[in-house]
Amino acid sequence: MPTKSSRTSSIMTQTSTIFRPCFLLGAGVTRFAGAVLAAAIILPLCTGPAGAANPPQKATAPAPKKSAAGKAPAGQAAAPDSGQGIATEARNAYVVDYRTGAVLLDKNGTERMAPASMSKMMFYYTVFDDFLKTGKATMDDTLPVSEKAWRTQGSKMFVPLGGRVRIEDLLRGIIVQSGNDACIVLAEGLAGSEQAMVDLMNKKAQELGLAGSHFANVTGLPDPEHYMTAKDLTILAKHIIDDFPEYYKFESEKDFTYNGIKQGNRNPLLYQNVGADGLKTGHTDEAGYCLTGSAIREGQRIIMVLAGLPTMKSRITESERVLDWAFREFGAFPLFKPGDTIDQADVWLGAQAKVPLTVATEATVTIPRRSRKDMKVTEVYDGPIKAPIAQGQQVGKLVVTVPGMAPTEFPLVAAAPVDRLGRIGRVGAALGALVFKR
């Protein structure tokens, strides 16, 4: 008869304990073969040796403690408790591990804010995805400079009125120099108008799941209908890194010269020895000094958004301080990869007695380094698993728990197929089960 099974192991010590469920069949609960006990009765776990189980008791297992963030999505850890966090003067802050999506710091991360020039990331991602990727435009195409573009205020690339500029130069003028004039040239030349490009940006934001973002222009200049969240900016940054590595290289350029004018990249992290390689800064009176940054050290990448800082100097010092904290305090630890046999689960009415279990996706967790020794990994599935079983079929979950963080879950799947027993075999197994139960 299938029962709820779990296996907990300490990854650090490489020891494991099998917990044998002890069942209490309370009044009104019927015992029958081939069925899972009603979930309304929570069953205590016994750790005694087989044949010497503790006397069954009717009990309700205590619910696991939840962090403020609740249970994390599959493969993604939640933000640590505030005791492991870091105080920052940024009005909004959101820090994630690139590989696992674990949230390391969340300060007003889902609050709408003025993104200033950081929203240009949405603009050039749309150019990458809707025009360059589809072949509607190439990096060598040239676009005309209108008077509107030439007169656009704020940071400039200094495009010539009435001239034509290569798309690659325009993109570098936006990514490196944050040129508002380059944004208008690119929007008008590719989409026909700034508003048409804005419509494409809003559509693309929905496709990417940027639920807290809306755009009113391509430059990031102040507008009440132009806003993003720090969380959305980290999602967008990851898409830029993942989807367009061939263009991400422009993010790390420290300067760009156009029309005889050399301008430095405004990202302060590029000038520090911190492993930074992108992305975008921003500043307006409303937004304050802002930065969406990414850095990689020893194979671990962190994406960080800080916004609402009071001065340019504080943007430099605070971004470096928060980034150092993230790398120092957190590590990404691989546990299992698809194909690794985690356990052999019993099979009910199967042609094979057991089925190997593995993970559907790479099981890597980002946790505080100091908590690694306290990490526990638990398999949870209803066992024996009823045949037939298809290879890749989800049969349970792998739950990783660390004190102070919400559990992280990964789908647990069958690593091999198991056919169902024939009619005679099933009858024999059922009779055998009934005999042993008596």
Which residue did the predictor score with more confidence, 41 or 304?
A: 304
Mean pLDDT, residues 140-161: 96
β 354-359/405-414 pair status: antiparallel
Look at residue 429 in the predicted model and tell me its pLDDT: 61
Give the residue ranges of DSSP H helices in 244-309.
Answer: 245-248
Catalytic residues: 117, 120, 178
- Domain coordinates of the chain in residue numbers? 3-63+337-437, 82-332
221 vs 103, 181, 216, 218, 287, CA distance in Å? 29, 12, 9, 8, 10
What letter represents residue 29's amino acid? V
**pTM (2 decimals)?**
0.78
Look at residue 16 in the predicted model and tell me its pLDDT: 30
pLDDT above 70 covers a percentage of the chain that reads 77
Mean pLDDT, residues 181-192: 98
Asked if 330 contacts 367 with a C-beta cutoff of 8 angstroms, the reply is: yes
Over the stretch 328-361, which tens digit does the pLDDT of each residue have?
999 999 999 999 999 999 999 999 999 999 999 9
Asked if pLDDT for residue 46 goes beyond 70, the answer is no
- Of 182-186, 210-214, 375-379, 423-427, the poorest mean pLDDT is in 423-427
The whole-angstrom separation of Cα 26 and Cα 30 is: 9
Asked if 335 contacts 365 with a C-beta cutoff of 8 angstroms, the reply is: yes
Mean pLDDT, residues 178-199: 98
Superfamily of domain 82-332: DD-peptidase/beta-lactamase superfamily (3.40.710.10)
Enclosing H/E stretch for 326:
helix 312-329
Mean pLDDT, residues 60-79: 41
Asked if pLDDT for residue 18 goes beyond 60, the answer is no
Look at residue 5 in the predicted model and tell me its pLDDT: 55
First to last CA, the chain: 13
Enclosing H/E stretch for 174:
helix 167-175
Look at residue 383 in the predicted model and tell me its pLDDT: 83
Which residue did the predictor score with more confidence, 26 or 276?
A: 276
Mean pLDDT, residues 305-309: 98
Q: What is the DSSP string of 259-278?
A: TTEEEE-S-GGGGSSS-EEE
Class of domain 3-63+337-437: mainly beta
Look at residue 431 in the predicted model and tell me its pLDDT: 62
